[in-house]
Homo-oligomer: A and B are copies of this chain.
Amino acid sequence: MAAELKNDRFIRALLRQPVDKTPIWIMRQAGRYLPEYREVRAQAGDFMTLCSTPELACEVTLQPLRRFELDAAILFSDILTIPDAMGLGLYFEEGEGPKFKSPVSTAADIEKIGIPDPEQELRYVIDAVRLIRSELDGKVPLIGFSGSPWTLATYMVEGGSSKAFSKIKSMLFAEPDSAHLLLSKLADSVAVYLNAQIEAGAQAVMVFDSWGGALSDPHFKAFSLAYMQRIVDQLHREYDGKQIPAILFTKGGGLWLAELAATGCDALGLDWTMSLSRARELVGDKVALQGNMDPAIMATNPATIEKEVARILADFGNGNGHVFNLGHGITPNIDPDNVAALVEAVHTLSAQYHQ
């Protein structure tokens, strides 16, 4: 029997219900800016060991909650667990991005790919979710997550990080059927994976479409949006008597907010390029909004951060449906005191918008 939530601000805001203060969590809140994270990371030896050892993943997930009054925890994991479970051989080299030993390059490679069983090939993630949920003991909700099909496909076809996405984009243009087959398999894998996270205890889920913003308008709709839609259609929207909000986040996706909101998800993540007031005009009452402070400000000082928090809260204005966050992950060089200032500013300054 899972503990009742002591702080449900995050879930309520995602469902556009009234809250006393705007909830906040921070993308990559369990990360290198925390000395205690760096310590566990060093003990683990390599990054994949950290991700694939439930006790360690649980420990780093909980670390930021011990320091800051954050309103949600997010599973510590990597976005590329699914391609790894598909047999591509994920590895990390120090100072470089993720890489795959066996990238996908031909139609035959795509044919061979199966849908990983989360309780088998991704068991370490699901076990981490179970452990974290239990350790949280209802303190705050736990967010499960996955990369979007398009974002996963970029790494799988490019063999790692990319700037120009030339291989995968050549596939979209010249072999669209192969791309659709790959993306269909990925969408179904993500849906099964997120549902398994929900069954293991995740109380909200988020799809990170980190590279959707690199696509042309018709390609975004056909190769990224359509497959996030396919995920939303398959997700558990309620589990164990509770609604499970689903958040979609396309970085650089400000041009497609109306289309993203029309998928039927509960909330949209926003990077800092789109103003919250304009986003609200575009999506109306369809979805909640999560964001959207430029992470660069975290390198300044508490007074400057507080001023920007005030601006962003005012930009959203009165009403329900705002979860505060950065517009992208917090970077490793940040002073944790600035994070404390951010969290406090959001809670203190937002109360006036929830009377």
Asked if A216 and B294 make an inter-chain contact with CB atoms under 8 angstroms apart, the answer reads yes
Q: Is the interface of A mostly helix, strand, loop or mixed?
A: helix
Using CB atoms and an 8 Å cutoff, list the residues of chain A in contact with chain B: 164-166, 169-170, 173-174, 213-220, 252, 254-255, 272-275, 278, 292, 294-297, 299-301, 304, 308, 311, 327, 331, 333
Given contact pairs A255-B254, A255-B255, A331-B164, A170 touches B296 in the complex (Cβ within 8 A) = yes
Asked if B275 and A218 make an inter-chain contact with CB atoms under 8 angstroms apart, the answer reads yes
Asked if B273 and A220 make an inter-chain contact with CB atoms under 8 angstroms apart, the answer reads yes
Nearest neighbor of A328 in chain B, beta-carbon distance: B164
Contact of A255 among B166, B214, B218, B274 (CB under 8 A): B274
Given contact pairs A164-B296, A296-B164, A273 touches B215 in the complex (Cβ within 8 A) = yes
A140 to chain B, nearest CB (A): 27
What is the CA–CA distance of A292 and B215 in the complex, to the nearest angstrom?
A: 12
What is the CA–CA distance of A229 and B31 in the complex, to the nearest angstrom?
A: 41
Given contact pairs A216-B272, A216-B273, A294 touches B255 in the complex (Cβ within 8 A) = no
A324 to chain B, nearest CB (A): 15
The residues of B that contact A274 with a CB separation of less than 8 Å are 217, 255
What is the CA–CA distance of A170 and B166 in the complex, to the nearest angstrom?
A: 33
What is the CA–CA distance of A278 and B216 in the complex, to the nearest angstrom?
A: 13
The 5 nearest A-B residue pairs measured at CB: A169-B296, A217-B275, A216-B272, A174-B300, A216-B294
What is the CA–CA distance of A220 and B294 in the complex, to the nearest angstrom?
A: 12
The residues of B that contact A169 with a CB separation of less than 8 Å are 294, 296-297, 299
Given contact pairs A296-B165, A296-B166, A252 touches B275 in the complex (Cβ within 8 A) = no
